[in-house]
Amino acid sequence: MNSILRLSGIKKSYNIGTPVETEVLHGIDIELLEHEFVALIGPSGSGKSTLLNIIGLLERSTQGELTIAGQRTSLLDDAGLTRLRGHTIGFVFQFHHLLPAFTALENVMMPAIIENGSITQQARQVALDLLRRVGLKGAEYKKPGQLSGGMQQRVAIARALALKPKLILADEPTGNLDTKTADEIFSLLREFNRDHGSACLIVTHDPRLAQRCDRIIHLVDGKIAPENSDA
């Protein structure tokens, strides 16, 4: 299988060159292949958010190499990183960040609108199909305020998958949902992961969901714990 994500020796420090310089990631090595569905777990303060921000190209590492879909990100300028992020990565967050003034359909089409500068018939059809697949047929023209929390999260997942990203990053996507809805959201992510060959990295505090992933990466004090660790 092809490598979708590779981190080699990733380090991250803040306040560099000052008396309070702090290194929060200490040489992270991770690889995700296509079709892999991996959980990232660890206690608060372990560096999960920082790591996810680096993988999502929202922050640069201090040291090391990050490669996404064969592209070495250290070779890209800010415009190149923005293009790679938009084309290759789909984000799903605990809080959906939908645009309240737009319908569910318009929210799902938004990545394609940003990409193309206008609404195309293809983008519209893709968005309609995604909303149907996430169980929201009939809710296409409702605005977020008219939808339940679980329905809003389904819209957010459809939006994240609108451009068929090679890498899906999910940060506590079920953290504010009841167990039944959380299971449904998890199953939807797994379905897209299988169907499109994408790699998925899901940050979760729910050990029940983590155990349903292909493997679990433990992050402790900014380091990857051994796979047989109980950390």
The string of pLDDT tens digits covering residues 76-85 is 999 999 889 8
The string of pLDDT tens digits covering residues 47-90 is 898 999 999 998 999 999 999 999 999 999 999 998 898 889 99
User: How many angstroms separate the Cα of 14 from the Cα of each of 19, 62, 106, 214?
Assistant: 11, 9, 38, 33
Residue 201, classified by CB atoms within 10 Å of its CB into exposed (0-12), middle (13-18) or buried (19+), is buried
Average predicted confidence (pLDDT) for the chain:
88
The string of pLDDT tens digits covering residues 92-130 is 877 778 999 999 999 999 888 887 777 788 889 999 998
Percentage of the chain modeled with pLDDT above 70: 98
DSSP helix/strand/coil, 111: helix
